[in-house]
C-alpha cells in the first residue's frame, strides 16, 4: 500500500457532467487512488471550467484557435501544462479534439476516454456527442451504452477498459437517450475506470 495518489488531469470541451461525476466520486471515496489536480479546456465557454472552480481545482483554457489552428503548437501547450502538473493519468471527458500520434505516444497507456456507445459501434471520426445517439436511433439498435478505453492514435481505437449497456426505449430522442446513457453508464463506469487505472499506476 502507498499513500501516493495518481495525479489526474481532466480534459474537457463542454458541459462537464463527466468531470462532475469524477469530482463527486473522489469526494465519496469511490476514487481513492487518484486526485484531480488539473482541468484543461479547449473552449473558454465550457461550463466544465465553472465546475472545476467550484471544486477548487485549477483549470486552464488552451485553444487551437489561439495557435492559428496549428495542431502541433496546440498539443505542445497541452503537453507543457500536463508535464508541469506532473500528470500520471489524463482523462478525456467530453474532449472534442482529436489528438495526434505524437501526443498519444508521449502519454502511452496514460490517457483514457469515455465514449457514449458500445465500441466498435458508432465510434471513430465524426461520432461524438449527440451525433452518436442520432446514429444509434437511426440504425434502430435496441441496446446501446458507453465505453471507457485507452487512447491511441486511432480515434476510439485503443484497448477497452470498461463497458456498460443501456436500453433504447420506444419514443427516445437523441437527447433523451444521451441523458439515459450518461446516467446509467458514463457517470458510473468513468469514475470506476479512473479508480482502476489510478490504482494500477500507483502500485507499479
Ligand atoms: C459525453 O456523452 C461523452 O461521452 C461524449 O460527449 C459528452 C460530453 O458530456 N464524448 C464523446 O462523444 C467523445 N467522442 P459532458 O461534457 O457533460 O461530460
> Cell 502519454 appears where?
107
Query: What pLDDT does residue 82 have?
Result: 98
Q: What dihedral do alpha carbons 49, 51, 84, 100 form, nearest 10°? A: -60
Confidence of residue 191 (pLDDT cuts 50, 70, 90): very high
Write the pLDDT tens digit of every residue in 142-168: 999 999 999 999 999 999 999 999 999
Residues with CB under 6 A from ligand 1: 12, 14-18, 93-94, 114-116, 128-129, 132, 182, 186
User: Do residues 21 and 191 lie in contact, with contact meaning Cβ atoms separated by under 8 Å?
Assistant: yes
Q: Quick check: 2 pLDDT over 70?
A: no
Smallest CA separation from ligand 1 atom 11, residue = 128
What is the arithmetic mean of pLDDT over 7-31? 98
Write the pLDDT tens digit of every residue in 43-91: 999 999 999 999 999 999 999 999 999 999 999 999 999 999 999 999 9
Residue 125, phi then psi, degrees to nearest 5? -55, 135
Atom of ligand 1 nearest to the CA of 20: 18
What is the arithmetic mean of pLDDT over 195-204? 97
Amino acid at each position: 500500500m502507498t499513500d501516493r495518489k495518481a495525479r489526474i488531469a481532466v480534459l474537457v470541451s463542454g458541459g462537464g457532467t463527466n468531470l462532475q461525476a469524477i469530482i463527486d466520486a473522489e469526494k465519496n471515496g469511490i476514487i481513492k487512488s487518484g486526485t484531480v489536480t488539473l482541468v484543461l479546456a479547449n473552449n473558454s465557454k465550457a461550463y466544465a471550467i465553472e465546475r472545476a472552480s467550484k471544486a477548487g481545482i485549477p483549470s486552464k483554457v488552451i485553444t487551437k484557435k489561439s495557435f492559428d489552428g496549428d495542431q502541433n503548437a496546440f498539443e505542445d501547450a497541452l503537453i507543457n501544462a500536463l508535464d508541469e502538473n506532473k500528470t500520471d493519468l489524463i482523462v478525456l471527458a467530453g474532449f472534442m479534439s482529436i489528438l495526434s500520434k505524437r501526443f498519444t505516444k508521449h502519454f502511452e497507456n496514460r490517457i483514457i476516454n469515455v465514449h457514449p456507445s458500445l465500441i466498435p459501434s458508432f465510434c471513430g471520426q465524426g461520432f461524438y456527442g449527440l451525433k452518436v445517439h442520432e446514429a444509434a436511433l437511426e440504425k434502430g439498435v435496441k441496446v446501446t451504452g458507453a465505453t471507457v478505453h485507452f487512447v491511441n492514435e486511432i480515434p476510439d481505437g485503443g484497448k477497452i477498459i470498461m463497458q456498460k449497456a443501456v436500453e433504447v426505449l420506444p419514443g427516445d430522442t437523441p437527447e433523451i437517450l444521451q441523458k439515459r446513457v450518461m446516467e446509467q453508464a458514463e457517470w458510473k463506469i468513468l469514475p470506476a475506470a479512473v479508480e482502476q487505472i489510478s490504482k494500477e499506476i500507483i502500485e507499479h
